C-alpha cells in the first residue's frame, strides 16, 4: 500500500501560533500528515450513522445497511415550504405552480388536497410574499367547466376561495407582464393558462427564464406533474434562488413513500391494467414487499400463461414472458401467493348488449373463438377479494379491473370500491392509484379520509420502477436525516470547519491531523470520493473528521444547523463543477448557500474563498457580499498567502506550474 505524505510549507510554523485566524485556542499536532493512498477497500454505500471508530474497514462495510442515505430515493428529500424560514418570505416575489384540477374539486376524495393547496397560497400571502400563481388546464376541462372559460373567470373563482383579491393577467406569464400598479399592490396575481404557450411543454429555457423573471422563490404545489418535464415545474428552478415543495406537494410525496412502507402488515396489492413488459420492474418490487398479489385486467392473462394455464394467443404479450417468469420466481422464493380472476364478465361480439359470466378456464379454453370477449372481473372473483381483504392492514389498488377502456361494461371497479369502503372502517390503510380506483370510491362515504389517492397512475408506476421523477428532482434538496453527531465526532462541542467541495479529502485529512481541537466536515457531491474518504477516516482512526455526499448548495442549512457546537469557518476552494463552461464555475455559490452560511456562522467566524481563476473568485466574493445581509466583510483580499499552510491537490498543481492562486477571507461581524 502506498503512503503519500505532504510536508507542510515553511509558512506553517508562522501560522500555527495564530491560526485559526478567527480567535480562540486550539490543540495543535506538530507534525505533517500521512494518509493511506491508492489501494482502498471497496464499499458500496456511504455511512452517516457510524459506530465509535474501530479502525476496521470490515466493520464499516458491515454497517453499510444502516446508512442514512438511500441512493435510489435520496432525490425525494426536498426542501419544503413548511421548513423554509418564514421570515425569508417577507417582501419576496413567490411564484406558485398549482394543479387546477384540485382547485375545481370542492367535495369528494380530493377535498383535503384542495385545502392544502389553498393553505400554501394563504401562508405565503400572510408571510408578506408577493404571490404569483400559474397553472394549466386542457381544452376538455375548459369546455365543461365555466370557471375556466377565461383567466378572468378563474381569477374571480380563486378570489372567492381565498377571500383575497386575485388579479388576472394575460400574456406571457412573468412579472414584467403586469402593470406597474399591479406589481406594488398587495394582491395575488393569476397568469394566463400555461398551455397557451409552446415553451411550457417543451421546457424551453427562454420561456422558463421569462416565467421566473422577477421571482426569487418558486413553490411547486402541482404534484400531478411530477413525472413530466415542464418549464413551470423543472425549467423554472434554474432561475430562482429557492425551489420548494408546497403543503399539498409535500403531503403527496410523503404518501408516495408510504407505498414502500412495510410496517403495516399484512399488505396486499390489487394490480390491474395492461403492458406487463413496461411495468415489470414495478411488479417485481411489489412482489418483494407485499404478502399477496392479486392481478386483474390484462395483466392476469400473462400470469396465467406463465403458470402453464392455456391462454388464447390474442391475450398474451409475447415479449413479456421473461418478466412474467421473474415475477413468479420472486413470489415463489418469498412463498407468497399470486391470485388471478376465477370468473369474468364477457361481451358477445355478435350482440354488443349480451353480457354473461364465464369461468376463467372455460373462457380461455375456447369461448373466445366463439366471439366472447372478457370485459371485467366476475362476482366469484370479487367475493374472493373480499374474503382476502378482511384480514389485511394495508391495501394497494392500482390500475383498472376491466380488460378494456369501455366504462359502459365495467362493473368490477364499483363493486371493488364498495369492498374497500368496508375495509376502510377497520383501520386499514388503503392506497388508490389511477382514475378507475379513485372514481370507484369517490363520494362513496365519509371515510374518504382513510384513503390515500393518486389519480395520476404514471407517477406511481415510475416511482415503483425506481425511475427519477423530474418534478421532484428539480426541487432543492434537504438532507434526509439528522446526522448522529456524537457518533461522527468524539467531541461535538468543538468548533466546526466545513469544506464545501472537499474532493478526495486530502486537504481535510491534513487539517484534521494538524488541529485536533477542531472538527472537520467535508461536503462533496461525488459519492465515490466520499466513500473512499470514509474508509480512510476509519483506517486512520480520526474522530474529528467526517465526509458527507450531498449538494451543499441546498442542504448546507439542514445539515449544519443541527450541529451542537459552533460553525467557525467555511471554505470553498476552486469550485469547478463544469470545466467546459466558465460561466458555470461558481454556480454552486448561490444565494441559498450564502444565506445559510451567513446565518449559521458564528460572529467573527470566517469564509475562505480560493480559485485559480480570478473571475471565479470575484464571482464568489460578490455573491457572499451581496447576499450576506450586511453581516460579511472582507478580512483579507488580493494576493494573500494560504493562511493554513495546507494546500489542496488542485492548488498544488496550479502552483507547480507557476500560476497564481487568488484568495479572499471574509469575516462575519
At 353 the pLDDT is: 66
Alpha-carbon distance 170 to 187, whole Å? 16
Say if 18 falls within a structural domain: no
| Strand, helix or coil for residue 351 | strand
User: Does 151 have pLDDT greater than 80?
Assistant: yes
**Contact (CB, 8 A) for 547 and 521:** yes
Is pTM beyond 0.85? Reply is no
User: Does 41 have pLDDT greater than 90?
Assistant: no
Alpha-carbon distance 563 to 356, whole Å? 68
Q: Any idea which residue has 421523477 for its cell?
A: 469
Alpha-carbon distance 28 to 512, whole Å? 10
pLDDT in tens, 185-221: 778 999 999 999 999 999 999 999 999 988 999 999 9
User: Would you mind telling me the total number of residues written for the chain in this entry?
Assistant: 669
Which of 33-47, 76-90, 354-368, 385-399 has the weakest average pLDDT? 33-47
For residue 136, what is the domain's CATH number? 3.40.50.1260
**Contact (CB, 8 A) for 433 and 397:** yes
Q: Are residues 330 and 421 in the same domain?
A: yes
Mean pLDDT of 329-336: 95
Four-residue CA torsion sign, 246, 249, 252, 253: negative
- What are the residue ranges of helices labelled H in 238-348? 247-258, 276-289, 297-306, 321-334
Bridge partners of 177? none
Mean pLDDT of 328-341: 95
Per-residue CA distances from 544 to 130, 227, 487, 492 (Å): 45, 42, 11, 9
User: Does 644 have pLDDT greater than 80?
Assistant: yes
Q: Are residues 369 and 504 in the same domain?
A: no
Say if 374 falls within a structural domain: yes
For residue 610, what is the domain's CATH number? 3.40.50.150
pLDDT in tens, 558-601: 999 999 999 999 999 987 644 444 444 346 688 889 999 999 99
Alpha-carbon distance 252 to 347, whole Å? 38
User: Does 65 have pLDDT greater than 70?
Assistant: no
Say if 595 falls within a structural domain: yes
User: Does 60 have pLDDT greater than 50?
Assistant: no
Query: What is the DSSP annotation of 171-193?
Result: SSSSGGGS-HHHHHSS-EEEEPP
Say if 441 falls within a structural domain: yes
Say if 39 falls within a structural domain: no
Residue ranges making up the domain that contains 560: 485-668
Q: 62-71, 241-250, 400-409: which has the highest mean pLDDT?
A: 241-250
Per-residue CA distances from 641 to 9, 12, 512 (Å): 12, 11, 20
Q: Are residues 210 and 351 in the same domain?
A: no
Higher pLDDT, 272 or 41: 272
Q: Are residues 295 and 439 in the same domain?
A: yes
* φ/ψ (deg, to 5) at 431: -115, 120
Say if 75 falls within a structural domain: no
Say if 23 falls within a structural domain: no
Going by pLDDT thresholds of 50, 70 and 90, the confidence category of residue 183 is low
Per the structure, how many domains does the chain have?
Answer: 3
Which of 13-27, 451-465, 644-658 has the weakest average pLDDT? 13-27
CB neighbours of residue 313 within 10 Å: 8
Query: What is the DSSP annotation of 143-171?
Result: HH-GGGGSHHHHHHHHHHHHTS-EEEE-S
pLDDT in tens, 234-285: 999 989 989 999 999 999 999 999 898 888 889 999 999 999 999 999 999 9
Alpha-carbon distance 460 to 469, whole Å? 10
Counting other chains too, the contacts that 304-308 makes at CB distance below 8 Å and 24 or more residues apart are: 304/340, 304/360, 304/364
Q: Any idea which residue has 467557525 for its cell?
A: 568
Q: Are residues 409 and 498 in the same domain?
A: no
* φ/ψ (deg, to 5) at 29: -90, 120
At 72 the pLDDT is: 58
Q: Are residues 296 and 404 in the same domain?
A: yes
Mean pLDDT, the chain, integer: 82
Amino acid at each position: 500500500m502506498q503512503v503519500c505524505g505532504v510536508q507542510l510549507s515553511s509558512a506553517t510554523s508562522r501560522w500555527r501560533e495564530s491560526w485559526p485566524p478567527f480567535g480562540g485556542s486550539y490543540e495543535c499536532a506538530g507534525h505533517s500528515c500521512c494518509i493511506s493512498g491508492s489501494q482502498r477497500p471497496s464499499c458500496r454505500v456511504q455511512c452517516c450513522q457510524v459506530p465509535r471508530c474501530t479502525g476496521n474497514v470490515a466493520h464499516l462495510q458491515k454497517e453499510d445497511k444502516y446508512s442514512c442515505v438511500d441512493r435510489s430515493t435520496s432525490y425525494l428529500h426536498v426542501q419544503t415550504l413548511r421548513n423554509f424560514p418564514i421570515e425569508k418570505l417577507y417582501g419576496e416575489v413567490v411564484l406558485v405552480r398549482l394543479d387546477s384540477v384540485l382547485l375545481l374539486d370542492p367535495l369528494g376524495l380530493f377535498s383535503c388536497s384542495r385545502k392544502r393547496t389553498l393553505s400554501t397560497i394563504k401562508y405565503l400571502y400572510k408571510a408578506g410574499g408577493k404571490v404569483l400563481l400559474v397553472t394549466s388546464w386542457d381544452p376538455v376541462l375548459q369546455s365543461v367547466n365555466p370557471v375556466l372559460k377565461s383567466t378572468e373567470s378563474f381569477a374571480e373563482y380563486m378570489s372567492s376561495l381565498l377571500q383575497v383579491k386575485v388579479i388576472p393577467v394575460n400574456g406571457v406569464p412573468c412579472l414584467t407582464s403586469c402593470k406597474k400598479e399591479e406589481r406594488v399592490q398587495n394582491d395575488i396575481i393569476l397568469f394566463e393558462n400555461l398551455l397557451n404557450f409552446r415553451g411550457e411543454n417543451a421546457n424551453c429555457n427562454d420561456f422558463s427564464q421569462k416565467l421566473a423573471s422577477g421571482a426569487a422563490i418558486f413553490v411547486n404545489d402541482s404534484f400531478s406533474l411530477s413525472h413530466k418535464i415542464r418549464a413551470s415545474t423543472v425549467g423554472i428552478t434554474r432561475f430562482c434562488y429557492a425551489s420548494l415543495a408546497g403543503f399539498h406537494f409535500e403531503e403527496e410525496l410523503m404518501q408516495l413513500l408510504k407505498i414502500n412502507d412495510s410496517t403495516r402488515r399484512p399488505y396486499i396489492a390489487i394490480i390491474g391494467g395492461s403492458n406487463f413488459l413496461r411495468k415489470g420492474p414495478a411488479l417485481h418490487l411489489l412482489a418483494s414487499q407485499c404478502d399477496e398479489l392479486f392481478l386483474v385486467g390484462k395483466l392476469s392473462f400473462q400470469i396465467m400463461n406463465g403458470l402453464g394455464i392455456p391462454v388464447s394467443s390474442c391475450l398474451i404479450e409475447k415479449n413479456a414472458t421473461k418478466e412474467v417468469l421473474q415475477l413468479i420466481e420472486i413470489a415463489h422464493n418469498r412463498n407468497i401467493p399470486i391470485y388471478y380472476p376465477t370468473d369474468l364478465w364477457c361481451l358477445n361480439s355478435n350482440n354488443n348488449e349480451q353480457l354473461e359470466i364465464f369461468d376463467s378456464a372455460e373462457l380461455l379454453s375456447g369461448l373466445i373463438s366463439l366471439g366472447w370477449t372478457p370485459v371485467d372481473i366476475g362476482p366469484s372473483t370479487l367475493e374472493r377479494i373480499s374474503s382476502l381483504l378482511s384480514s389485511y392492514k394495508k391495501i394497494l389498488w392500482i390500475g383498472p379491473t376491466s380488460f378494456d377502456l369501455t366504462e359502459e361494461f365495467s362493473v368490477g371497479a364499483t363493486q371493488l370500491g364498495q369492498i374497500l369502503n368496508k375495509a376502510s372502517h377497520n383501520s386499514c390503510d388503503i392506497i388508490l392509484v389511477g382514475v378507475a380506483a379513485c372514481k370507484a370510491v369517490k363520494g362513496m362515504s365519509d371515510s374518504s379520509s382513510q384513503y390515500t389517492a393518486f389519480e395520476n397512475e404514471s407517477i406511481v408506476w415510475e416511482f415503483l420502477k425506481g425511475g427519477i421523477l423530474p418534478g421532484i428532482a428539480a426541487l432543492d434538496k434537504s438532507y434526509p436525516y439528522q446526522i448522529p453527531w456524537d457518533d461522527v465526532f468524539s467531541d461535538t462541542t468543538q468548533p466546526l470547519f466545513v469544506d464545501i467541495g472537499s474532493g478526495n479529502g486530502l486537504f481535510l485529512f491534513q487539517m484534521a491531523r494538524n488541529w485536533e481541537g477542531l472538527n472537520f466536515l467535508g461536503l462533496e457531491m461525488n459519492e465515490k470520493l466520499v466513500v473512499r474518504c470514509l474508509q480512510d477516516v476509519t483506517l486512520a482512526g480520526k474522530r474529528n473528521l467526517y465526509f458527507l455526499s450531498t449538494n451543499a448548495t441546498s442542504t448546507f442549512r439542514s445539515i449544519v444547523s443541527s450541529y451542537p457546537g459552533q460553525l467557525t469557518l467555511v471554505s470553498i476552494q476552486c469550485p469547478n463543477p463544469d470545466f467546459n463552461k466558465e460561466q458555470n464555475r461558481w454556480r454552486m455559490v448561490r444565494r441559498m448557500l450564502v444565506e445559510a452560511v451567513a446565518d449559521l456562522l458564528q460572529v467573527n467566524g470566517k469564509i475562505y474563498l480560493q480559485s485559480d481563476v480570478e473571475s471565479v473568485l470575484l464571482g464568489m466574493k460578490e455573491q457572499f457580499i451581496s447576499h450576506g445581509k450586511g453581516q460579511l466583510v472582507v478580512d483579507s483580499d488580493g494576493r494573500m498567502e494560504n493562511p493554513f499552510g495546507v494546500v489542496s491537490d488542485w492548488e498544488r498543481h496550479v502552483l507547480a506550474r507557476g500560476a497564481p492562486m487568488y484568495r479572499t477571507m471574509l469575516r462575519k461581524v
